[in-house]
Amino acid sequence: MRITRALSVAALALGLAAAPAAADSTPSASPTGEAAAPTKAGTSFRTATEIAQGQTATADGSAGDYLYWSFPADAGLRPTVRATVKLPEAHAAETWQVDVYDGLRRRQACRYGAQTRTAAQDASSVELSCTLRTVRAWSEPWAYDPLPGTYYVRLTAVGLPTSDRGLPIGAELRVDAREIGGAAAVDGSLAEPLVPGVALAGRDQQEESEESEEDTPSAVLSAVEPEDGWASGWWSDRWVWTAVGGALAALAGVGGYALTRGSGRPGRVPPGA
C-alpha cells in the first residue's frame, strides 16, 4: 500500500514538473498578424531588412543582385532559413546560393539543407534551405559556434551567365526555429547578444549642424529581437529535469526505508514456549 502511494506521488510530481518543459518546447515566434511582412530586401549588411521568425518576407530584384535580410536568434534555438527564387520565363541554367552570417559577420555552416542549387534552363523557380547548428549561450572566443544575436541572410546567384544579368526575379524568405532546450544548454552566457550597428546617425546630425566639427558617426543598434526578449541562456528545461531527478531520488529513499524497516510488530511467540 505504501509502495503504491509512493509511486502515485512520484508520477504526480513528474507530471507537474514536466508540464512547464512541454510548454516551453514550442519555439516562440512573432505573430505575423501584428506587423506586415517585409516586401523588400537590403543590398548590404547595413541595409539588411529585419524580419521576425515565422514571417514570410518577399522582395523583387534583378539577377546578379545581393539580397540581404536579418533576424534574431536566441540561445537554445536551431534556426532554419528557407528561400524561394522565382525566375523569369526565359533564362539559362542558374546556380543560386543562400548564406547565413552571425552578428560578427562570420559565415555559419549549414547543418543540413540545400544551400546551393542549380535551376535548369527555363525552370520557374528554385528552392533553397539552410538549417544552422543550435545557438549556444556561450562559446570560446576562437570557436565559430552560433551565438545569440542578429543573423544575416544573403541570397544571390553564383556564376550567373552574362545573358541573364539584370533579368527580373522574385524572392521569398522565411525563418523558423526549433527549440532544442536543455540538451544544448551550457554553463555560461554572453554579457550582451551580438547585435551590431546597422546604420550611421552621426552623419545626418553633422549635416544639420555644421557648428560641431568633431561630430562623428555613431552606431545605431538593430531593433530586431525575440518577442520575449533575450534570454541569453539563463533558463533551460535542464533545471526542471534536475528538480524531477531530486524528487524521484527522495521518493526512492522513502520507499526503500518503508520496505526495509519492517512492520514494527513484535515477533510471534511459538506455542509452549
pLDDT in tens, 228-265: 667 644 555 656 666 777 888 888 888 887 888 765 55
Distance (Å, rounded) from C-alpha 246 to C-alpha 45? Answer: 48
In the prediction, which pLDDT does 152 show?
96
Distance (Å, rounded) from C-alpha 152 to C-alpha 194? Answer: 12
42 and 161 both lie in a single domain: yes
184 and 75 both lie in a single domain: yes
Distance (Å, rounded) from C-alpha 175 to C-alpha 54? Answer: 6
Interior angle at CA 97, CA 91 and CA 99, nearest 5: 155
Distance (Å, rounded) from C-alpha 124 to C-alpha 91? Answer: 9
**What are the distances in angstroms from CA 102 to CA 45, 73, 123?**
11, 9, 32
In the prediction, which pLDDT does 185 show?
63
In the prediction, which pLDDT does 194 show?
84
Whether residue 203 lies inside any domain: the answer is no
Length reported for the chain: 273
Positions in the chain short of pLDDT 70:
1-35, 181-188, 197-225, 227-229, 231-242, 262-273
Whether residue 90 lies inside any domain: the answer is yes
54 and 177 both lie in a single domain: yes
In the prediction, which pLDDT does 204 show?
47
In the prediction, which pLDDT does 91 show?
92
Whether residue 93 lies inside any domain: the answer is yes
| AA letter at 154 | R
188 and 114 both lie in a single domain: yes
141 and 36 both lie in a single domain: yes
Q: Which domain holds residue 9?
A: 1-25+237-258
180 and 53 both lie in a single domain: yes
Domain end among 192, 219, 248: 192
Whether residue 2 lies inside any domain: the answer is yes
Q: Which residue has the cell 526575379?
A: 169
Whether residue 151 lies inside any domain: the answer is yes
pTM higher than 0.95, yes or no?
Answer: no
12 and 93 both lie in a single domain: no
113 and 155 both lie in a single domain: yes
